[in-house]
Structure 1
Amino acid sequence: MALSHNAPPKSLQEVLDEAGSPVKLLRGSNLGPYTFPVIPPEFTNWRDEVRAWKDGVALLELSYHMTELHLRGRDVVKFLSQLATNKFEPFPVKRGKQLVLAGHDGYFIADAILFRESEDFLRIVGAPFASDWVQFNAEKTDLDVTATRDDNFSIRSGTRDVFRVQVQGPHALTLMRDVTAGTLPEIKFFDIGEFKIAGQTVRALRHGMAGEPGYEIYGPWDAQQIVREALEKAGEKYGMRKVGALAYSTTAQESGWMPMPLPAIYHGEAMRPYRKWLTNYFLETIGSLGGSFESDDIVDYYVDPVEVGYGSLIDFEHDFIGRDALRQKVATPRRKKVTLVWDNNDVIDLMRSSLFEASAGGKYMQLPNPMYATFQSDAVLRNGKSAGISQWLAYSANAEAIISLALVDTEYATPGTEVTVLWGEPNTLRRTVDKHRVREIKAKVAPAPYFEKVIKTGRQ
């Protein structure tokens, strides 16, 4: 995502004007799927690394791939409340919050995790889209807010403000008690606790994935090696696995979180100032759109906060961008987020054809994460008619199947419903896509998240 030193940056709006339309721009980008920087593909093997967070304990590395935006000032919460769907009263210090951002017409822009470190200091942590939108608005507000960017290692190197790792799985709590010598404080779900590991003061957000409890630990950049070594030593007793980039890329499917829907910024006059602010330094400008779903209207690729599962995080008692449009989406939901479990036999037939039938075969499916674009949008059919879109997919070693997160029409959202996913990219304009024929793959609807969240039910 780095800029060329030989040419001045262009705005997203300029690039769109040159391409002719948002769909032509994104469908013509040769950028491949997101790759996680710094960490190796595997520490041991990705199958057992995936199983570790469900059946044992895993150590996941978050220090390098997530963008951080630091907001400081006496008006930080007031400022965010103008942008986000969330309720911010109460929002105490040492508390986390899932930040949800919508555009003027209620379509989804991005989400991220908010960390309230003090009264006047908040961190926004996640994929860059939330930080980009918040930074743009922070630069033009009259409120007492300053935004400082801490980019991920996809576009830079060096040091950061904090390191960040996650301990995850059924043995996570016991391991954490061991590594803190029994001094671990009780931390409620999405609260932030402060404690010491190997003499180093750290904080941890309490949350989970794949249905199991976990801790997202962060602290001073210079303390990371000491903390990691302590965690690895304590983890030997529990057979802890360090998670590499391949396994990490499959975490979202099991947890039911849709990581990177296409941000709804490419259309309409209301977003034009933002498109002029974004340059080809940003992923929104250079990202690619892949998959079998086809439309010339970029709006057809958007999602909204209600259908991706954030309806409960919309507080209509305060004014925010997109509020009126979201009232209608809450009243008349069109689609629902589900997991699709792809038919194993159809997947094997597809893979066989992609390897041994040359150009007549199906689109090659790379494991464990078959995504081949920044943003994925595959057509879902029911009895030959459009029934929704499938977005984020991976092979889950815990589910022993290809599973994807999809938005399907509400009438087809019942678990067990049989649908068909079209796999491939018809009429592709991208050289990164191999020659193939679109294949139909049977799938069944399952709940999202795929695994029950014991962290919220109290079974630990």
Structure 2
Amino acid sequence: MTNEAPKSLESILEAAGGPVNLLRGSNLGPYRFPVIPPEFTNWRDEVRAWKDSCALLEQSYHMTELHLRGSQVIPFLSEIAVNKFDPFPVLRAKQLVLAGHDGFYIADAIIFREAEDFFRIVGAPFASDWVLYNAEKSNYDVEAKKDDNFSIRSGTREVFRVQIQGPNALALMREASGGGLPEIKFFNIGEFQIAGKSVRALRHGMAGEPGFEIYGAWDDQQAVREALEKTGEKYGMRKIGALAYSTTAQESGWVPMPLPAIYHSDDMKPYREWLNNYFLEAVASLGGSFVSDDITDYYVDPIELGYRNVIDFGRDFIGRDALLERANNQRRTKVTLEWNDEDAAAVMQDSIFPANGTPAKFLNMPMPMYATFQVDAVMKKDKVAGISTWPSFTANANRFISLGLVEIEHAQPGTEVTLVWGEPDSRRNTVEKHQLREIRAKVAPAPYFEKVIKTGKH
């Protein structure tokens, strides 16, 4: 018996009758964080830890890494990424943003410059896949090697990776490092020791507080973890399980995994022929109440996602002219949507105890997503005013929120809109029979944490 040869994404799309049919017919559920348990204690207190005390978030298993080596990594990336790369010194990091030829968003990730000729791209697989494809056909001095996440593999990696986050994070890190923690500026990388083991840490913030993404040799992780956990006892540190982790993005205003704009154009056809059924792009699912036969209606762009300030319009790159046009004619902008408490509770009640026989779509907690990519319709006076994605219940605000892209005229905080909850005429076995329900929502700022939870002001 022989293994079947991989099928290209392009051939899969042709057999399925197009991208909407393929994605809306997939029975893949929402992303599940591998290896770590759903809860270490309980997800409510774990969520509150990064606001009230300190949290340890596990990143060793679910992040895809792509390692780039060579003398021409920067010229190579300058042709395929929208970012400003001058300056980009060693021991710095950037948010790498990638767009397609027509300006639609493909993916983003964090890129670490570890040495003059060594870079790590860390994040969801879509960014690494696109960069790897381009590296393989490039004439630049660039070597790319992918380190897949533990959703599709096991074993060991080059580095472990954990994040320490919250108001007590800085004090904990100073003590765990034996007083050796250097002053690390935002999105810079520092080198120091924990438990006698050399580590590096990216300084960033989540939920408006200092944070550190610590990484080091895979075989050193036990000693480092033990030191962090022991020191963390006095600072109220909690380890974050998969359920709580799934709600981090919504508070900070980052849209983690929009549908990558790779399914539609002739420009992207060679890439679709390179991708195959072993890639998430070929098996992912599309769900939600927003329904269109045109796959481009589900796409987003870097401008509306809030990445305008990282774009280097002073040079040419894939999608530059289209992005400039989008920047000059922006239609939508990113917001947080606060769901009405009574409406959300009514949906939950009706999903369990239906009043008229057909239940509402189940509203899972803390993460109600039920597809890889979920796009729900946001309405204003019976017209689609935008989309909602990445819903969650945040224990820091005790309410359901989601990230939305809404038309600029409806983006003022306090604007009332309606979110349609459910998936009409679903063909997916992962979606139960249900009726659509409307949930009132109010527009709020994004990021939600810094401007609402932290200040207490809308």
Q: Report the TM-score range of the alignment, normalised by the length of the smaller protein.
A: over 0.9
Q: In 2, distance between residues paired with 1:437 and 1:409?
A: 27
- Residue number among 420, 431, 440 corresponding to 1:422 in the alignment: 420
CA displacement at 1:453 relative to structure 2:
7.6
Q: Contact 2:445/2:451 (CA < 8 Å) preserved in 1? A: no
- The residue number in structure 2 matching 1:213 is 210
Q: How does 1:306-455 map to 2 (within 5 A)?
A: 306-357=303-354, 360-452=358-450
- Residue number among 12, 15, 20 corresponding to 2:12 in the alignment: 15
Q: In 1, distance between residues paired with 2:271 and 2:160?
A: 30
Secondary structure of the equivalent of 2:417?
strand
Letter in 2 for 1:41: P
Q: In 1, distance between residues paired with 2:2 and 2:223?
A: 38
Q: In 2, distance between residues paired with 1:303 and 1:94?
A: 31
- Residue number among 69, 72, 77 corresponding to 1:75 in the alignment: 72
CA displacement at 1:210 relative to structure 2:
1.3
- The residue number in structure 1 matching 2:238 is 241
Secondary structure of the equivalent of 2:185?
coil
Secondary structure of the equivalent of 1:307?
coil
Letter in 1 for 2:51: K
Q: Contact 2:378/2:418 (CA < 8 Å) preserved in 1? A: yes
Q: In 1, distance between residues paired with 2:216 and 2:288?
A: 39
CA displacement at 1:279 relative to structure 2:
0.5
Q: In 2, distance between residues paired with 1:433 and 1:210?
A: 32
Q: In 2, distance between residues paired with 1:336 and 1:150?
A: 34
Q: In 2, distance between residues paired with 1:7 and 1:31?
A: 21
Give me the identity figure in percent. Answer: 70
The Cα offsets for residues 26-64 of structure 1, whole Å up to 9 and x where unpaired, read as: 000000000000000000000000000011100000000
Letter in 2 for 1:402: F
Asked if residue 183 in structure 1 is aligned to residue 180 in structure 2, the reply is: yes
Secondary structure of the equivalent of 1:306?
coil
Q: Contact 2:161/2:215 (CA < 8 Å) preserved in 1? A: yes
- Residue number among 112, 134, 138 corresponding to 1:137 in the alignment: 134
Q: Contact 1:198/1:226 (CA < 8 Å) preserved in 2? A: yes
- The residue number in structure 2 matching 1:253 is 250
Q: In 1, distance between residues paired with 2:4 and 2:389?
A: 34
Asked if residue 286 in structure 1 is aligned to residue 298 in structure 2, the reply is: no
- Residue number among 123, 128, 141 corresponding to 1:126 in the alignment: 123
Q: In 2, distance between residues paired with 1:6 and 1:241?
A: 44
CA displacement at 1:245 relative to structure 2:
0.3
Q: Contact 1:185/1:193 (CA < 8 Å) preserved in 2? A: yes
Q: In 2, distance between residues paired with 1:82 and 1:399?
A: 42
Q: How does 1:87-102 map to 2 (within 5 A)?
A: 87-102=84-99
Q: In 2, distance between residues paired with 1:403 and 1:15?
A: 35
Count of aligned residue pairs for this structure pair:
452
Q: In 2, distance between residues paired with 1:211 and 1:402?
A: 20
Letter in 2 for 1:227: V
Letter in 2 for 1:216: E
Q: Contact 1:290/1:376 (CA < 8 Å) preserved in 2? A: yes
CA displacement at 1:7 relative to structure 2:
2.1
The 1:14–1:367 alpha-carbon spacing in structure 2 relative to 1, beyond 3 Å, is same
CA displacement at 1:139 relative to structure 2:
0.2
Q: In 1, distance between residues paired with 2:331 and 2:282?
A: 29
Asked if residue 305 in structure 1 is aligned to residue 302 in structure 2, the reply is: yes
Q: Contact 1:85/1:100 (CA < 8 Å) preserved in 2? A: yes
- The residue number in structure 1 matching 2:110 is 113
Letter in 2 for 1:114: I
Q: Contact 2:97/2:109 (CA < 8 Å) preserved in 1? A: yes
Secondary structure of the equivalent of 2:305?
helix
Q: Contact 1:211/1:453 (CA < 8 Å) preserved in 2? A: no
Q: Contact 1:382/1:419 (CA < 8 Å) preserved in 2? A: yes
Secondary structure of the equivalent of 1:116?
strand
The Cα offsets for residues 285-343 of structure 1, whole Å up to 9 and x where unpaired, read as: 00000000010000000000000010111111111100000010000100000000001
- The residue number in structure 2 matching 1:457 is none
CA displacement at 1:6 relative to structure 2:
3.7
RMSD: 1.3
The Cα offsets for residues 198-242 of structure 1, whole Å up to 9 and x where unpaired, read as: 000000000111111100000000001100000000000011100
Q: In 2, distance between residues paired with 1:408 and 1:324?
A: 23
Q: In 1, distance between residues paired with 2:4 and 2:145?
A: 26
- The residue number in structure 2 matching 1:275 is 272
Unpaired runs of 5+ residues, structure 1, are 455-460
Secondary structure of the equivalent of 1:451?
helix
Letter in 2 for 1:146: E
Question: TM-score, structure 1 length as denominator?
Answer: 0.97
- The residue number in structure 2 matching 1:264 is 261
Q: Contact 1:210/1:453 (CA < 8 Å) preserved in 2? A: no
Secondary structure of the equivalent of 2:203?
strand
